[in-house]
């Protein structure tokens, strides 16, 4: 009895504690351990961290809309009417008037029959891809597609063929070798429109042609293209003058729209199917109605009043791009306001990020596994809110570091 009592009072040694410590130490040794940085101010080209002011070059708020007074007012008005939380998933009591208004506004903006709102871009991709692919499909995916696409494909349990980055010839060769039939089922091509780490644009016009030639369905992740690309900011398809008839478009409201949430736009049949089968939609509490109302107002602004902001965005982008290029930095094939500066291994990327931070420029290093080994970088994202002086300061600081 005494022995058993002694056993019960002994403090157990949990093996998992050592495992967690070991994993953290491994990350630390590989210069891949991340920490969170707390922002103490509203978002913009300048932010406050621990009471100090930094120039912010790590935000996807491309059109500087996150503090737009009309968007804030739309949210406040909806807060007063609907409260904060939505209380339930969309199929229960979680669908509110702002959700429906936002989906109708997205469909008009993207020129599709219908749209469905998800809580995040990650939820949109991981919920949609398993529905449209399924385990009988073959999915063709660009090797640099976003992690949410990769995870969505894994959840679908479909066969997957990875084609070389933006290599349409390679994509076509894979399609030739994987004909659609009763065994393989549907063929689905998925690509980002703007690649979030390299800042380049998918050759969508060629991809659409290939998909039509081989009777493959096309889905694009337009998260970084919506609001940025195209004459009126409608994204990658508008940028290339492509009609959206049979193309599935995913996009977010958390980047150029300055709000929160995501969506899938396409045919009415597709949206009805997602409502009934997309697990990330069915089993999630819906976005707060006020967030949906803010998103609706943001799309109104992008559609009708953002031309000047978009021109400023591209002016700022070109200023930084040309400056970095003249300094001899490897900026890959950037074509957008996402401009990477290749640093090499994770340690070198961290060193450059810390140097910039020391000079009051906030742009954290991007390291594996987000990017491949040896491809660590600083990822500058330019917004319409940056000034010439802020951009020039970055270039000056980087020039001094090269001496």
Q: Domain residue spans in the chain?
A: 31-65+307-401, 69-304
Please provide the CATH number assigned to the domain covering 69-304.
3.40.640.10
Phi, psi dihedral angles at 234 (to 5 degrees): -80, -5
Q: Is the CATH number 3.30.1130.10 carried by domain 31-65+307-401? A: no
Residue 402 has a pLDDT of: 77
Residue 255 designated active-site: yes
Q: Is 28 helix (H, G, I), strand (E, B) or coil?
A: helix
Phi, psi dihedral angles at 110 (to 5 degrees): -90, -5
Instruction: Provide the residue-wise pLDDT of the chain in tens; the chain has 403 residues.
Output: 445 555 555 555 555 667 788 888 888 988 888 898 899 988 889 999 999 999 999 999 999 999 999 999 999 999 999 999 999 999 999 999 999 999 999 999 999 999 999 999 999 999 999 999 988 899 999 999 999 999 999 999 999 999 999 999 999 999 999 876 556 678 999 999 999 999 999 999 999 999 999 999 999 999 999 999 999 999 999 999 998 789 999 999 999 999 999 999 999 999 999 999 999 999 999 999 999 999 999 999 999 999 999 999 999 999 999 999 999 999 999 999 999 999 999 999 999 999 999 999 999 999 999 999 999 999 999 999 999 999 999 999 999 987 6
Please identify which of the residues 146, 255, 297, 386 carries the catalytic annotation.
255
pTM score: 0.92
Residue 297 designated active-site: no
**What distance lies between CA 161 and its chain's CA centroid?**
22
Please identify which of the residues 66, 148, 196, 286 carries the catalytic annotation.
196
Q: Which residues contact 324 (CB under 8 A, 6 or more apart)?
A: 331, 339, 341, 380, 395, 398
The strand order across the sheet containing 376-381 reads: 338-344, 376-381, 365-366
* Whether the domain at 31-65+307-401 and the domain at 69-304 fall into the same CATH topology: no
Residue 196 designated active-site: yes
DSSP-assigned letter for residue 133: T
């Amino acid at each position: 009895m005494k022995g058993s009592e002694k056993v019960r009072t002994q403090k157990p040694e949990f093996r998992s504690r050592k495992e967690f410590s070991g994993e953290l130490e491994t990350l630390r040794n590989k210069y891949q351990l991340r920490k969170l940085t707390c922002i103490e101010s509203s978002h913009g080209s300048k932010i406050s961290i621990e009471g100090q002011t930094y120039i912010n070059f790590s935000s996807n708020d491309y059109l500087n809309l996150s503090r737009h007074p009309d968007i804030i007012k739309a949210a406040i008005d909806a807060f007063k009417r609907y409260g904060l939380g939505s209380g339930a998933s969309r199929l229960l009591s979680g669908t509110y008037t702002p959700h429906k208004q936002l989906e109708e506004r997205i469909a008009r903006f993207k020129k599709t029959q219908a749209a469905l709102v998800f809580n995040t871009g990650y939820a949109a991709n991981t919920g949609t891809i398993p529905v449209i692919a399924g385990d009988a499909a073959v999915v063709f995916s660009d090797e640099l597609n976003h992690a949410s696409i990769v995870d969505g494909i894994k959840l679908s349990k479909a066969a997957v063929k990875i084609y070389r980055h933006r290599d349409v010839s390679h994509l076509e060769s894979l399609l030739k070798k994987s004909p659609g039939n009763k065994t393989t089922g549907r063929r689905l091509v998925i690509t980002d429109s703007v690649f979030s780490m390299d800042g380049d644009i998918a050759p969508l016009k060629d991809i659409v042609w290939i998909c039509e030639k081989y009777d493959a369905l096309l889905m694009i992740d337009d998260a970084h293209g919506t609001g940025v690309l195209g004459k009126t900011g409608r994204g990658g398809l508008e940028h290339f003058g492509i009609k959206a008839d049979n193309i599935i478009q995913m996009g977010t409201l958390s980047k150029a729209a300055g709000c929160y949430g995501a969506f899938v736009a396409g045919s009415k049949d597709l949206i009805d199917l997602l409502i009934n089968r997309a697990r990330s939609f069915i089993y999630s509490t819906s976005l707060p109605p006020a967030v949906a109302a803010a998103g609706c107002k943001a799309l109104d602004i992008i559609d009708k009043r953002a031309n000047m902001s978009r021109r400023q965005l591209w002016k700022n982008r070109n200023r930084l791009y040309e400056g970095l290029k003249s300094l001899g930095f490897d900026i890959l094939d950037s074509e957008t306001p996402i401009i990477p500066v290749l640093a090499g291994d994770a340690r070198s990327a961290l060193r450059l990020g810390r140097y910039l931070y020391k000079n009051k420029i906030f742009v954290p290093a991007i390291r594996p596994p987000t990017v491949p080994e040896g491809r660590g970088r600083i990822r500058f994202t330019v917004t319409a809110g940056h000034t010439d002086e802020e951009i020039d300061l970055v270039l000056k600081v980087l020039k001094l570091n090269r001496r």
